[in-house]
Homo-oligomer: A and B are copies of this chain.
Amino acid sequence: MQNGFSFQIEKKMSRQLGRAGVLHTPHGNIETPAFVAIGTKATVKALAPDQIKNTGAQVVLGNTYHLYLEPGEKIVKKAGGIGKFMGWNGPTMTDSGGFQVFSLGAAFGKRTSKVSQPPMLIGRKHRGLSGTTKERMKTEALVKIDDYGVNFRSYKDGSEHRFTPERSIEIQHALGADIIFAFDECTSPHADKAYQRRAMERTHRWAARCLAAHIFDRHPMSIKNMGTEKKQALFGIVQGGRYEDLRKENARAIWKMNFDGFGIGGSFEKEDMGNAVRWVNEILPEEKPRHLLGIGGVADLFSAVENGCDTFDCVSPTREARTGSLYTKKGRVNITNARFRTDFSPLEKDCPCYTCINFTRAYLAHLFRSQELLGYTLASIHNLSFFIGLVKNMRTAILDGKFKKYKDGFLDTYGKI
């Protein structure tokens, strides 16, 4: 890596791919493995920056798709980049916008049309739209993919937009995060192999174009921006669905390009996530950092860490928090259940988060029952602290050579609520 970035591995697991390290960025270090806080629209929902810090978060990931639509990348750039805009002075990441283009586009209209391909549906949850907008959207194709880029409609107002690899990089340069990602086509786990292969090959061509756009704009020797811009690291995306040969072919192709690190994306069937990650990480160069995109299940995180991933992001801790679904070492509880109304113990007895130190389950239950905004804040603090602390403990366990013991102990009681 270059331009102010470096990645040091401190300790490797003896029989598996997992490792503990430090990822240095212009805005500070990230001790890995690390769970990344999602700051979709340049805000970790319901949390002020000092509250984000308090969860133990080291890095915040913004969504390019959302920030492009609102407030627009030009405003974020004028503000000094996503970190400065949102008052977060630590490291930042942005994704490429690809996932939302395909999932939000495909999901609400339930139709994705492509110039020469069958519909691709991404099976993840998304936030709804008003009936009227939904109706209007249904009548039109929402996502059109061609070899040069993707046409899509805004989830907000149905307006038409187009992303290309070059445009995604241009927007991410304006957003100014420390770590940015190449623009890829997100395929569905239900896509057939022939389609997955074509999508993979397209993603490789797009990866090369992202790299070229990044180097043209950001390389230290670039005439366009010589010395004037803060440096950003570009991570390539390894896709390939659930097929071992495609995953491996994908990893080899992306490896050859000179990315600063890697994002491992794509939709996994639940049971093959660990395998898919291992296939890829056995090929990817050990000395570069690997980010696993959008995975946040407890068992999945253990599996991803031991199979060599360094950073993780997932929206579920904060999204679930806002519904009152809170994580404990024994599993999730719904704080709106009647029994919590008179439970004056903290949510989790030995949890060091602001919420557990200062408030009772009864108070959290009251806030959710009263639909008080503070409920969403306190619940988000707890859930985010839970995941950040969990991955931090995995790091400590790797350093102590006790990962398996920690994993087995944790999973032995987790879900036994």
Chain A residues proximal to chain B, CB less than 8 Å = 41-43, 45-49, 51, 70-71, 75, 78-79, 85-87, 341-342, 344, 354, 358-360, 362-363, 365-367, 369-370, 372-374, 376-378
Check A374/B71 contact, CB under 8 A, given A42-B363, A79-B362, A363-B79: no
Most chain B beta-carbon contacts within 10 A, residue among A48, A87, A342, A344: A48
B377 in contact with A373 (CB, 8 Å):
yes
A45 touches B369 (CB 8 A): no
Contact of A45 among B48, B79, B363, B374 (CB under 8 A): B374
Q: Chain B contacts of A378 at CB under 8 A?
A: 48
Told that A70-B366, A79-B360, A85-B362 touch, could you supply 15 new A-B pairs with CB distance under 8 A?
A: A42-B363, A43-B367, A43-B370, A43-B374, A48-B374, A71-B366, A71-B369, A71-B370, A75-B342, A78-B344, A78-B362, A85-B363, A85-B366, A86-B363, A377-B377
With contacts A75-B341, A87-B363, A360-B79 taken as known, whether A370 is within 8 angstroms of B48 at the C-beta atoms is no
Give min CB distance, A356 to chain B, whole Å: 11
A–B pairs, 22, beta carbons within 8 Å? A41-B370, A41-B372, A43-B370, A45-B373, A46-B373, A46-B377, A48-B51, A48-B378, A70-B366, A70-B370, A71-B365, A71-B369, A75-B366, A78-B342, A78-B362, A79-B344, A79-B360, A85-B360, A85-B366, A86-B363, A373-B377, A377-B377
Q: How far is A113 from B360 in the complex, measured between Cα atoms in Å?
A: 41
Among candidates B43, B358, B362, residue contacting A372 with C-beta atoms closer than 8 Å: B43
Would you call the interface of chain A mostly helix, strand, loop, or mixed? helix
8 Å CB contact of A71 from B43, B45, B75, B341: B341
Min CB distance, A92 to chain B, in Å?
15
User: Closest 5 CB pairs between A and B?
Assistant: A46-B373, A71-B366, A87-B358, A43-B374, A41-B370
Does the CB pair A354–B71 fall under 8 Å?
A: no
Interface centre among A45, A49, A360, A363 (most CB of B within 10 A): A363
Identical chains in the assembly: 2
Q: Are A354 and B48 in contact (CB under 8 A)?
A: yes
Distance, CA A366 to CA B75, complexed state (A): 10
